[in-house]
Structure 1
Amino acid sequence: MHVTLRQLQVFRSIATLGQVQLAAKQLHLSQPATSMALSELEKHLNCLLFDRSGNRLLINVQGKKLLPLACELLDRTNEITHLFSAKNSLSGKLTIGASTTIGNYLLPQQLIRFKTNHPEVDVELDIHNTTTIIERIASMELDIGYVEGPCQHPGIEAIPWREDQLTLFCSSEHPLANKPTVTLKDLEQAHWILREQGSGTRFIFDKHIGQHLRQPHIKMELNQTEAIKHMVSAGAGISCLSELSIAKELDQGEFVPLSFQSKTIKRQFWLLLNRKKYRGDLVNALLNATQVKSLPLRSKLDKSSK
């Protein structure tokens, strides 16, 4: 008996989804057939690839060794199929992760253009905070990640993508709206509506503003930018968000930027790639479409990541 592509497809799907039932649904297989494919693969390799916990399957050390090799083999197989297909156009699926600001206000327009040029490619966009995207890139659940916070994970390559600027702001009816500049005391006395811990926006706020406030009055922490905007608009407090997310409200005068010590809060957006994950034509096409230079195909594991 030999390892088959179907067995590797089942393995990758279970590694990503954590359940046989979900993997079977994704692959359009019966649950017994999916379980059998995994069992046959483990029998052939003479090792377990997952730790069983109820109906959850948690990938173990042996599974983590196999995962990048299985992903590369399956992706290369798709490229072979594409190379000799009559369509001669890119096809397949890209799973992209983006932190909130990028995913809601920057990336959609670029993905629309990408889909127009490559209509046979299926694109799945998952929006979470930076910490979650890093975790999902590390576990190979995502092909590419776009985040607004720093990444120090040794298994992930972080590529500078583009710059952004954060702005302190309030509603036009807020008492601070008419002040040419705000003081540290003003910020300490104000009620804040902020992003949650773990978000890139919150990390930058704490680094540039929060650490200077002795006792900040944080009224709410929310994981959705739109919810923060609604709270600020209703007069519940002031906030700090990307200019990308509040540009329309600033232009219309609904929000007023707050000037604090002539401080400009800039940050770097990052593109994340798993060092061990194979990068084929689909990934490089997206890198080109989002104005990042295409990287060499990875046919071997990066020795530095071992």
Structure 2
Amino acid sequence: MKFSLKQLAVFDAVANQESVSAAARQLSMTQSAVSMSLSQFENVLDRPLFIRQGNRLTLSHWGRWLRPKAKRLLQDAEHIQMGLHDQRMISGNFSLYASQTAAEHILPKLISQVDSDFPELRISIKVENTEHVIQCLLNHQCDMGIVEGRNDDSRINQKKLIDDHLVVFTNPHHPFANSESVNLAQLEQANWVLREVGSGTRRIFDGAIHGLIDNIKVWKVYESVPVLKSMVENGFYLGCLPYLDVAKEVENGQLVILPTPEFDMKRSLSFVWRKDSGDNPLRDCILAEARRLMINNERVKDEAKVNLLQLSQK
């Protein structure tokens, strides 16, 4: 072997940070040691892996080709180093980026279940909108993501986790709150508070109104779901969010879902990961745990329906 895992790790860190000095801090190495290791690696491969632009380093054609392969080798090395405890324990570090809905309603139970079953598996979490999750995956900043809606990037694998749908909502004091049906003209005249462009929620909403409403009045745009809900709850606005995000407030009477029969806003939450990331036992473990969690949730719902039916027949 003409190159080492250490050189691969240096290459990956520089690719991630786009800076030798930042990569040195990440690896707890001196800047000169990182520069030397990278230079030796390029000499061994006889290919330029980066394009130098001042202090910034961007991947060359060869660097982009090499990076997913280097990632897989480093992941395999980490799995070997961490090992399997008594041949049953999954161990290692795994980064998971998720949209807000998944982060709030799916991840707490999933992480708790994984922590209980696989205490040596460390999952780091970051909340981003769908567009940013996909971009972070493509930039090798995370191992897997959970996004809203459909992804059409050919470089990404997608596996559906759960179905959901978006709803239009307002507060109980809004003039539309008691309407049996809200028509397109009313929706066009209303003031809206919406998620930011780039979020899966906004993409589905924009798709639903396309061809139906020409000029919707977007009053405010927020990345934060709690802020958006609070704005609608305390003002004369309409909002649009996944049902999971407003279910509690609707049940408590703080918000009201408006009937909008002309809107089709079904969507799903899905796991996504790079196609070229290869096999990953940690990813497989999390996917299996998520599937088990969804099955258990459906079983609980079915049991609750049966109990309600039995009570109604007494």
The TM-score, its normalising length taken from structure 1, stands at 0.88
- After superposition, residues 34-183 of structure 1 pair within 5 angstroms as 34-83=34-83, 89-183=89-183
CA 1:84–1:165 in structure 2 vs 1: closer, same or farther (change >3 Å)?
closer
Q: Give, in angstroms, the shift of residue 87 of structure 1.
A: 8.5
Corresponding letter in the other structure for 1:36:
M
Is the Cα contact below 8 Å between 1:129 and 1:198 reproduced in 2?
Answer: yes
Q: Give, in angstroms, the shift of residue 108 of structure 1.
A: 2.6
Aligned to 1:276: 276
Q: Give, in angstroms, the shift of residue 132 of structure 1.
A: 1.4
Q: Structure 1 stretch 185-194 or stretch 69-78: which is displaced more?
A: 69-78
Percent identical among aligned pairs is 33
Q: Give, in angstroms, the shift of residue 227 of structure 1.
A: 1.9
The alignment partner of 1:176 has SS state of coil
Partners of 1:149 and 1:25 lie apart in 2 by: 37
Aligned to 1:217: 217
Partners of 1:88 and 1:113 lie apart in 2 by: 16
Partners of 2:143 and 2:53 lie apart in 1 by: 27
CA 1:154–1:12 in structure 2 vs 1: closer, same or farther (change >3 Å)?
same
Q: Structure 1 stretch 203-212 or stretch 259-268: which is displaced more?
A: 259-268
Aligned to 1:266: 266
Is the Cα contact below 8 Å between 1:172 and 1:256 reproduced in 2?
Answer: yes
CA 1:160–1:84 in structure 2 vs 1: closer, same or farther (change >3 Å)?
closer
Q: Give, in angstroms, the shift of residue 63 of structure 1.
A: 0.7
Aligned to 2:33: 33
Per-residue CA deviation, residues 134-184 of structure 1 (Å, 9 max, x unaligned), is 122222222111110321111111222221111110012222112222121
Q: Give, in angstroms, the shift of residue 8 of structure 1.
A: 0.6
* Structure 1: segments with no counterpart, 5+ residues: 293-306
Is the Cα contact below 8 Å between 1:82 and 1:90 reproduced in 2?
Answer: no
Partners of 1:18 and 1:117 lie apart in 2 by: 37
CA 1:26–1:85 in structure 2 vs 1: closer, same or farther (change >3 Å)?
farther
Partners of 1:143 and 1:92 lie apart in 2 by: 12
CA 1:271–1:122 in structure 2 vs 1: closer, same or farther (change >3 Å)?
same
Per-residue CA deviation, residues 72-131 of structure 1 (Å, 9 max, x unaligned), is 211222222344667863222111111222123322321222122222222121221111
The alignment partner of 1:95 has SS state of strand
More helix by share: 2
Q: Give, in angstroms, the shift of residue 62 of structure 1.
A: 0.6
* Structure 2: segments with no counterpart, 5+ residues: 293-314
Is the Cα contact below 8 Å between 1:82 and 1:89 reproduced in 2?
Answer: no
The alignment partner of 2:176 has SS state of helix
RMSD of the TM alignment (CA)? Answer: 2.1
Per-residue CA deviation, residues 32-53 of structure 1 (Å, 9 max, x unaligned), is 2222221221121122211223
Partners of 1:117 and 1:17 lie apart in 2 by: 34
Partners of 1:256 and 1:210 lie apart in 2 by: 24
Aligned to 2:242: 242
The alignment partner of 1:89 has SS state of coil
Partners of 1:31 and 1:104 lie apart in 2 by: 40
CA 1:195–1:155 in structure 2 vs 1: closer, same or farther (change >3 Å)?
same
CA 1:19–1:123 in structure 2 vs 1: closer, same or farther (change >3 Å)?
farther
Q: Could you say which structure has the larger radius of gyration? A: 2
2:219 corresponds to 1:195 = no
Q: Give, in angstroms, the shift of residue 288 of structure 1.
A: 0.8
Corresponding letter in the other structure for 1:52:
R
Q: Give, in angstroms, the shift of residue 247 of structure 1.
A: 1.4
2:231 corresponds to 1:231 = yes
Aligned residues: 292
Partners of 1:50 and 1:112 lie apart in 2 by: 41
Q: Give, in angstroms, the shift of residue 192 of structure 1.
A: 0.5
The alignment partner of 2:291 has SS state of coil
Is the Cα contact below 8 Å between 2:208 and 2:264 reproduced in 1?
Answer: no
Q: Structure 1 stretch 250-259 or stretch 64-73: which is displaced more?
A: 64-73
Partners of 1:82 and 1:100 lie apart in 2 by: 31
Corresponding letter in the other structure for 1:78:
E
CA 1:30–1:121 in structure 2 vs 1: closer, same or farther (change >3 Å)?
farther
Q: Give, in angstroms, the shift of residue 205 of structure 1.
A: 0.8
